[in-house]
Amino acid sequence: MTTLRLWRLFHRPGRRDAAGRTATLATVAFAAAAAIFLTVLGGVHAFIRRASPDRTLGCLLDERACAPGALEAWLHRLADPHDPAQYAATYVLFAAFACVLLVVPFVALAGSAARLAASRRDQRLAALRLAGATRAQVTALTALDAAGQALTGALIGIVGYVVLMPAIMLLNFQNEPFTAAQLWVGVPALLATVAGVTVLALVSALAALRRVAITPLGVAARQTRPLPARWRALVFVTVLGVAVFALANMQLFAGLSDAMVYVVLFAMFALPFALVNLVGAWVVAARARAKARRPKDAATMLAMRRILDDPKRAWRNVSGIALAVFVAGITSATGGIAAMAAPEGTAADDPMLVFTRDIGTGGLLTLAFAGVLAAVSCGVMQAGSVIEQADEYRMLMLEGTDARTLDRARFVEVLTPLATVVVVAGACSLLLMWPLFAQLMTQPGSIVMFVGGVAACFALVMVGALAANRVAAGISVTGLRRDD
C-alpha cells in the first residue's frame, strides 16, 4: 500500500478523535500565522510603493524603469522640507524591521502547530508499524499530515488577509490611508508564503518526529527529562551585564563605520529576545521547582509537576509574550520621541511630527500583532496539551477530583510561566533600553504605554489560554465507553 493510500485511509470524513481535533487546532494556528504575516507584508509592500517615484516596485529598484517624468517630480518633492516624501525610505526600513520582528513569533507559531500536527499519533503509528508499515512510510504519513494542515491553514490565512485588508485601509500613515492596491502583495508573494509555511511545517514535524522512536511495540515509556542547565542563567547574566555596560558607555562605539553602527543597533534589538530565549526554559523550570517544593494545594502541585515534566514546552507556550514585551518597550520609547518632537505650535501636518506619530502607530500595530500571535500560539499549544492529558484527567475525575481543581491546575500551568516570562523579559528590556532611552522612559506617557502594552498582551494571552482550556477540557471529558 502506498503512503498516500494509507494517508487517505486515515482521513475519511467523520473522524472526531483526538488527532482530528489537534489537526483542526494546528490548521487554525497556521491560518492565523499566515494571515498576520501577509498583513504585515502588505504594510511593507505599501510603504515600498509609496517610496517609489511612480509607485511601482520596478521604479524603486531601477530608476530607468520609472514612468516618464515621475523621477523628476519625486526629486522635486524630496527637495521640499515640508513634504513627507523625505521620510519614505525610512518608513520602508521601519516596516521591514517590524516584519523581521514578527518573523520570530510567526516561525514559533508555525513550529508549534507542526509539533501539534505530529503529536497524538504515537499509538496509531505504532499500530501501523506492527501491521507492517515501514518506518519511512510512517514518517512520510506524519509529514503528509503536517504539510496538509499547513497548506490548508495557509490558504485559509490568505482569506483572513483579504478579510483584514479593509480594517488596515482605515489606518492613516504619511497622512493618507492605505489603498487596496498598496496592501495587495501579489500572487507570487502569496504562493511563496503558502510554500514557506508548508515547508516550515514539514521541517518542524520531521524534527519533532526524530525525537520519538516509533517501534511496532509503541513508544518508549516517559522518562525524566533533564532540566535546563544552569549555564544558561550564567551566560544570561554575563551577557546582560556586558551589554548594559557597553550601552552605558556609547563612546566605546565612536569611530565605528556606518555598517558597524547598524550591526550594533540590530544587536541591541535582537539581544533581549535572544537572551530571554536562552534563559526562558531555565527560569520557568526554576520558578516551578520553587513552587513545587511546598505547593499550597493539589492544583498547584499538578500544574508545577506538569511544567517540570517539560519546561521547554511550558516556555514555548508563552514565549510569544516575551517579544510582545520588547515591542512594548520599543513602542513606549518611540512614543516618547513623538511627544518630544512636537513642541507647541508645530503644524499638525509637519512631516517630522507625522513621521514620529506614525512610528508610534506602527509600534502599537506591531505590538497588537505580536500580542495576537502570542495569544494564538499559547492557546493552540495549551489546547493541544489539555487534549494530550485527557486520559490522565479523565482518570482523576473518575476517582472523584472535581472539575474546578482541574481547571485551576490548567490555569496555574499557564499563569506561572507567563508571569515569570513577563517579569524577566520586562526587566531585561528595561535594563537594555535604560542607558539609551532613560530620559524618554521616565515620561509618564512612556511608562503608561509600556505597562499598558504589556498588560494588554498579558490579558490577551491569558484569554487565549483560558478559552483553549475551556474548549479542550469540554472536548476531553465527552463520553467514552470504558467498559469490559
Partner 1 sequence: MTNVTNTANLAHTGAAPAPRPAAAYHPAGAAPILAAEGLTMDYAAGLAQARRGHAPTGTMPAATMPDALQPLALDHVDFQLAAGETVAVMGPSGSGKSTLLHALAGIITPTAGAVRFRGADLAAMPDAERAKLRRTAFGFVFQSGQLLPELPAVENIALPLMLAGAGYRQATDTATLWLERFGLRALAGQRPGEMSGGQMQRVAIARALAVQPAVVFADEPTGALDQTTGREVMGILMEAARGTGAAVVVVTHDPNVAAFCGRTIRLRDGRLDSDGPGPAPTQGGAR
Binding site for partner 1 (CB under 8 A): 221-224, 294-298, 301-302, 305-306, 308-309, 391-392, 395-402, 405, 477-479, 481-484
Comparing CB distances to partner 1, the nearer of 62 and 484 is: 484
Comparing CB distances to partner 1, the nearer of 50 and 287 is: 287
Comparing CB distances to partner 1, the nearer of 132 and 400 is: 400
Comparing CB distances to partner 1, the nearer of 302 and 327 is: 302
d(CA 411, CA 417): 11
Q: How far is the CB of 287 from partner 1 (least distance, A)?
A: 16
Nearest Cα residue to 305 out of 285, 328, 319, 335: 285
Comparing CB distances to partner 1, the nearer of 348 and 398 is: 398
Q: How far is the CB of 450 from partner 1 (least distance, A)?
A: 36
Q: How far is the CB of 478 from partner 1 (least distance, A)?
A: 5
Q: Which three cell numbers stand for residue 358?
A: 506614525
Q: How far is the CB of 212 from partner 1 (least distance, A)?
A: 15
Q: How far is the CB of 51 from partner 1 (least distance, A)?
A: 54
d(CA 160, CA 218): 39
Comparing CB distances to partner 1, the nearer of 121 and 408 is: 408
Comparing CB distances to partner 1, the nearer of 5 and 296 is: 296
Q: How far is the CB of 367 from partner 1 (least distance, A)?
A: 35
Comparing CB distances to partner 1, the nearer of 345 and 400 is: 400
Q: How far is the CB of 393 from partner 1 (least distance, A)?
A: 9
Comparing CB distances to partner 1, the nearer of 339 and 397 is: 397
Q: How far is the CB of 297 from partner 1 (least distance, A)?
A: 6
Task: Mark 238-248 as b/e (b = at least 16 C-beta within 10 Å).
Answer: eebeebeeebe
Q: How far is the CB of 295 from partner 1 (least distance, A)?
A: 5
Comparing CB distances to partner 1, the nearer of 12 and 294 is: 294
Q: How far is the CB of 211 from partner 1 (least distance, A)?
A: 16
